[in-house]
């Protein structure tokens, strides 16, 4: 790793001399050229699988950039796109000479079209909508063509604004019904009154949206273009503008102020991809992975529509000071719309630490260890990390005479490669754990060199679609060594790459902050030679869940690196179970016959079908009927969320006095145990764990 850094730093020092020779001033155009020059050299020479900056690359950047600026296709016309298209195969040439003519043309046109649209939407919203006409809108805007002229563009605005107003109108009508139900003397507002309120609300929302967009500076706009170039290399390579870099530094320091959720832009929508363990959203219990945030309100203020808004801008409205209320209008993955309240708080790194619990199952005591992240402090090696904490937790639970362990890696997005190797070493004597490869170099085998085994008994590892990176390294090693049964979703996330963060000011002397580049520099491979890239880790026991048929994981990202394999490392499988294959076969059969898992699978298919149906009626009666039908269909699956496994989870003995003196910790553990008592997946994992038998001679030896 150090050798690679020296090469990269030397390269960038040369680059800085070359680029520095060309640029003299510190104004924005000069800074833009510097960024383009640095980006080109770093990506071409430092990325694991560099793209040829050619005409094909140019077309990809063209599409990325134009789509990112106008995902709902309500600003650009086809004639604009045709005019931009003269650069379609020239962007590569511009990048090579640090020219930004394409960017300037598109950005200037966007500013012009946005200014024009301020007149459109105000005029449209000044007149009542006819919600009795048979009209539909396809909310998957990627399927739509650009408007051929200005009149068509105005019609695009009419449909989209009518849809926004319709959603608000339906909410207001439902509120009136609720008020009348609670108070029979309440005088309900008329349909026309509520229709006007819905338009006024939509107008206020758009006014605020455009006010916010008007405040964006050049750096924020230009970073969008830079990312259109960076993300063409792979989905994990990206440019972090100074503001975003600052936010990233805060999160790496382990403290975030907000709702405790990781968000991602998907087409025109802001989607939840992770709910941070122990954070405000996690404690509230209503926000889930896959939910789409449609609107954000600050307490009881009017909600702001964030559909179509850039992710960074949406986040500015969602985050906030501790103690303030974020009222989110969310679209659940079953299509239902719900308003939830989350009180913002400090999300401490403590919530990413290892925690454990014990449970009696069929007369035996077992331990469950939850690891939300593979954490380490690279600056202070003596501080706690996930490997040392895991070892301590195992030793503590062994003192309570547990007879098997479940390691829960669900929703664990990864972290430190080093700690993943060390944790794998807690369960094997020694040997290779993972293979890491730089571009054009032979693979490096990363070994566990500590012969000590902390646990030599039955082991189950739980994963899901959000288990990624370091989680996949650990799970793959346990599977290849035949050390544990991997149980969970059909496959894990499938991220088989490693990134480094390079602050660009380290390599070029410039007065302003240039931000940083997160760049993919390595791929990693299992000890059996296969990559987890795209394919992930295939579970030994595949459990259906609500995301089974959804677009999820690395394979559904833009421009992911391909799957491949290298030579197998020399390793000796553990092979100390008497009945490993039998237990796996029995569990898969049991799952296939379980009515609850059948219902979950049926629900997943229904959710996928719902997600694929993107055409919405703009006739109120039909719209209302569709909403009601969706609600009725979802009731069939209500029993899934009400399931209870009737298991009693108890904190380890060492934690009992800590909870007695710390009410917050006690409350967190209470919530965690309540969630586990409703977890059908943990129940099946315990069933598998209880059936695993260790070979007699190993038991005698121990």
Long-range contacts of 95-102 (CB under 8 A, 24+ apart): 95/36, 95/39, 95/40, 95/53, 95/229, 96/40, 96/53, 98/22, 98/33, 98/34, 98/36, 98/37, 98/40, 100/29, 100/32, 100/33, 100/36, 100/225, 102/62
Residues near 626 by beta carbon (within 8 Å), at least 6 away in sequence: 616, 617
* 459-463 and 485-488 strand pairing: parallel
Tokens of 384: 């706690």
Q: Are 544 and 681 contacting, i.e. CB atoms less than 8 angstroms apart?
A: no
Q: Can you state the angle between helices 28-46 and 218-230, rounded to 10 degrees?
A: 20
Q: Is 640 left (phi over 0), alpha (psi -120 to 50) or beta?
A: alpha
Can you tell me which residue has the tokens 């048929």?
549
Q: Is 544 exposed, middle or buried (0-12, 13-18, 19+ CB in 10 A)?
A: buried
Q: Any catalytic annotation for residue 16?
A: no
Out of 201, 469, 471, 531, pick the active-site residue: 469
Distance CA 317, CA 377 (A): 30
Q: Are 195 and 651 contacting, i.e. CB atoms less than 8 angstroms apart?
A: no
Q: Are 212 and 314 contacting, i.e. CB atoms less than 8 angstroms apart?
A: no
Q: Are 503 and 516 contacting, i.e. CB atoms less than 8 angstroms apart?
A: yes
Can you tell me which residue has the tokens 């062994």?
398
Residues near 42 by beta carbon (within 8 Å), at least 6 away in sequence: 12, 15, 502, 507, 517, 519
Kindly list the distances between the CA atom of residue 346 and the CA atoms of 245, 285, 310, in Å, as whole numbers in the listed order: 19, 17, 24
* DSSP per-residue codes, 149-182: SHHHHHHHHHHHHHHHHHHHHHHHHHHHHHHHHH
Q: Any catalytic annotation for residue 32?
A: no
Q: Are 684 and 410 contacting, i.e. CB atoms less than 8 angstroms apart?
A: no
The residues facing 196 across adjacent strands are none
Tokens of 547: 């995301």
Distance of CA 97 to the CA centre of its chain: 35
* DSSP per-residue codes, 462-514: EE-TT--THHHHHHHHHHHTT-SEEEESSB-----EEEEEEEGGGSS--SS--
Other C-beta atoms lying within 10 Å of the C-beta of residue 629: 11
Out of 305, 480, 601, 679, pick the active-site residue: 480
Closest CA to 295 of 247, 340, 346: 340
Distance CA 164, CA 195 (A): 11
Distance CA 165, CA 199 (A): 6
Distance CA 480, CA 516 (A): 37
Distance CA 298, CA 326 (A): 5
Out of 158, 245, 355, 495, pick the active-site residue: 495
Tokens of 414: 């990864």
Q: Any catalytic annotation for residue 495?
A: yes
Which are the catalytic amino acids? Answer: 469, 480, 495
């Amino acid at each position: 790793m150090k050798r690679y850094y020296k090469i990269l730093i030397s390269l960038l020092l040369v680059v800085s001399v070359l680029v520095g020779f060309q640029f003299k001033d510190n104004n924005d155009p000069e800074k833009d050229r510097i960024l383009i020059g640095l980006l080109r050299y770093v990506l071409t020479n430092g990325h694991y699988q560099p793209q040829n900056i050619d005409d094909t690359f140019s077309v990809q950047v063209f599409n990325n950039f134009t789509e990112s600026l106008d995902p709902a296709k309500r600003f650009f016309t086809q004639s604009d796109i045709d005019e931009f298209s003269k650069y379609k195969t020239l962007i590569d040439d511009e990048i090579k000479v640090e020219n930004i003519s394409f960017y300037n043309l598109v950005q200037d046109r966007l500013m012009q079209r946005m200014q024009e649209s301020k007149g459109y939407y105000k005029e449209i919203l000044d007149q009542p909508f006819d919600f009795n006409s048979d009209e539909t809108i396809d909310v998957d805007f990627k399927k739509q063509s650009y408007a051929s002229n200005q009149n068509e563009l105005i019609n695009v605005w009419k449909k989209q604004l009518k849809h926004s107003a319709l959603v608000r109108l339906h909410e207001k009508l439902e509120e009136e019904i609720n008020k009348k139900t609670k108070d029979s003397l309440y005088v309900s507002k008329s349909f026309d009154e509520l229709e006007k309120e819905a338009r006024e609300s939509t107008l206020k929302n758009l006014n605020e949206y455009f006010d916010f967009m008007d405040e964006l500076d050049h750096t924020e706009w230009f970073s969008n273009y830079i990312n259109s170039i960076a993300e063409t290399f792979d989905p994990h390579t990206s440019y972090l503008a100074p503001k975003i870099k600052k936010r990233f530094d805060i999160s790496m320091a382990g403290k975030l102020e907000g709702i405790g959720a990781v968000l991602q832009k998907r087409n025109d929508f802001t989607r939840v991809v992770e709910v941070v363990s122990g954070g405000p959203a996690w404690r509230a219990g209503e926000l889930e992975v896959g939910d789409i945030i449609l609107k954000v309100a600050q307490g009881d203020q009017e909600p702001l529509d964030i559909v179509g808004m850039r992710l960074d801008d949406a986040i500015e409205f969602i985050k906030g000071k501790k103690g303030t209320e974020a009222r989110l209008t969310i679209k659940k993955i079953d299509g239902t719309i719900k308003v939830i309240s989350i009180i913002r708080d400090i999300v401490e790194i403590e919530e990413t630490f290892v925690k454990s619990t014990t449970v009696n199952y069929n007369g035996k005591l077992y331990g469950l260890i939850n690891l939300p992240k593979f954490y380490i402090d690279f600056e202070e090696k003596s501080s706690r990390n996930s490997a040392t904490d895991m070892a301590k937790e195992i030793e503590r639970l062994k003192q309570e005479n547990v007879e098997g362990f479940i390691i829960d890696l669900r929703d664990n997005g990864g972290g430190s490669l080093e700690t993943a190797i060390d944790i794998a070493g807690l369960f094997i004597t020694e040997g290779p754990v993972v293979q890491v490869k730089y571009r054009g170099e032979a693979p490096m085998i990363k070994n566990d060199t500590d012969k000590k085994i902390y646990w030599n008994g039955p082991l189950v590892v739980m994963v899901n679609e959000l288990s990624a990176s370091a989680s996949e390294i650990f799970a793959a090693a346990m599977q290849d060594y035949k050390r544990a049964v991997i149980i969970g979703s059909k496959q894990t996330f499938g991220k088989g790459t490693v990134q480094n963060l390079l602050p660009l000011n380290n390599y070029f002397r410039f007065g302003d902050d240039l931000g940083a580049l997160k760049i993919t520099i390595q791929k990693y491979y299992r000890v059996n030679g296969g990559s987890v890239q795209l394919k992930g880790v295939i579970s030994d026991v595949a459990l259906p869940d609500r995301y089974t048929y959804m677009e999820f994981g690395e394979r559904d990202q833009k421009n992911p690196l391909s799957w491949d394999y290298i030579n197998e490392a020399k390793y000796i499988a553990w092979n100390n179970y008497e009945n490993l294959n039998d237990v796996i076969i029995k569990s898969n059969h049991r799952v296939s016959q379980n009515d609850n898992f059948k219902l979950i699978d049926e629900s997943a298919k229904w959710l996928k079908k719902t997600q694929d149906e993107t055409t919405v009626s703009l006739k109120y009666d039909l719209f209302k009927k569709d909403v009601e039908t969706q609600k009725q269909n979802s009731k069939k699956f209500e029993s899934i969320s009400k399931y209870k496994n009737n298991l009693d989870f108890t904190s380890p003995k060492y934690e009992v006095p800590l909870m007695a003196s710390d009410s917050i910790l006690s409350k967190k553990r209470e919530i965690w145990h309540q969630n586990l008592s409703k977890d059908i997946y943990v129940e099946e994992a315990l069933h598998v764990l209880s059936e695993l038998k260790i070979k007699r001679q190993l038991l005698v030896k121990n």
